[in-house]
């Protein structure tokens, strides 16, 4: 587990500047967990110091969106419009459900950060 759960909101070392500065638009990118697709990026944000992706899971879990912190991303393939996570589908599915009305509330962000910090294993997805 990470010593500081809020590190999940930061990009990992090694991503290019377009990604880490928020100039890359990820809308429409496919998101894959270590064991399969979890959805498509609906929006991305770096608001409130929480760099994250909102992923629409319509094809996997009908009617659900999830907030994925930038620290869960292992790789980004801009040419293929693909984002790879270093979390399993089960770990993503167990995360707190995204609610646009509570997104900016510290309690919700704490729940998401602690969930994903608790699933951190340090292993990256092979490219």
| Confidence class for position 60, pLDDT limits 50, 70, 90 | low
Any domain includes 37: yes
Q: Would you say residue 124 lies in a domain? A: no
Residue 55 lies in a domain: yes
In a domain, 41, yes or no: yes
Distance CA 37, CA 50 (A): 23
For residue 104, being part of any structural domain is answered with: yes
- Decide if 125 is inside a domain: no
pTM above 0.95, yes or no: no
Number of structural domains found in the chain: 1
Residue with tokens 């991305």: 44
User: For residues 107 and 117, what is the distance between their CA atoms, to the nearest angstrom?
Assistant: 15
Determine the average pLDDT of the residues in 100-112. 83
Range(s) of the domain holding residue 55: 5-118
Q: Which of 2, 119, 106, 101 is nearest to 49 (CA)?
A: 106
Q: What tens digit of pLDDT does each residue of 66-93 get? A: 899 999 999 999 999 999 999 999 999 8
Query: Is 127 within a domain?
Result: no
């Amino acid at each position: 587990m990470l010593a500081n759960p809020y590190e999940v909101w930061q990009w990992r070392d090694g991503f290019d500047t377009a990604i880490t500065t928020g100039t890359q638009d990820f809308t429409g990118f496919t998101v894959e967990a270590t064991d399969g697709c979890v959805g498509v990026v609906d929006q991305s944000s770096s608001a409130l110091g929480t760099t994250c992706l909102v992923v629409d899971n319509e094809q996997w879990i009908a009617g659900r969106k999830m907030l994925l912190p930038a620290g869960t991303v292992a790789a980004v393939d801009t040419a293929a419009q693909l984002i790879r996570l270093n979390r399993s589908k089960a770990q993503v599915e167990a995360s707190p459900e995204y609610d646009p009305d509570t997104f900016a509330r510290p309690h919700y962000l704490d729940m998401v950060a602690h969930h994903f910090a608790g699933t951190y294993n340090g292993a990256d997805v092979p490219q």
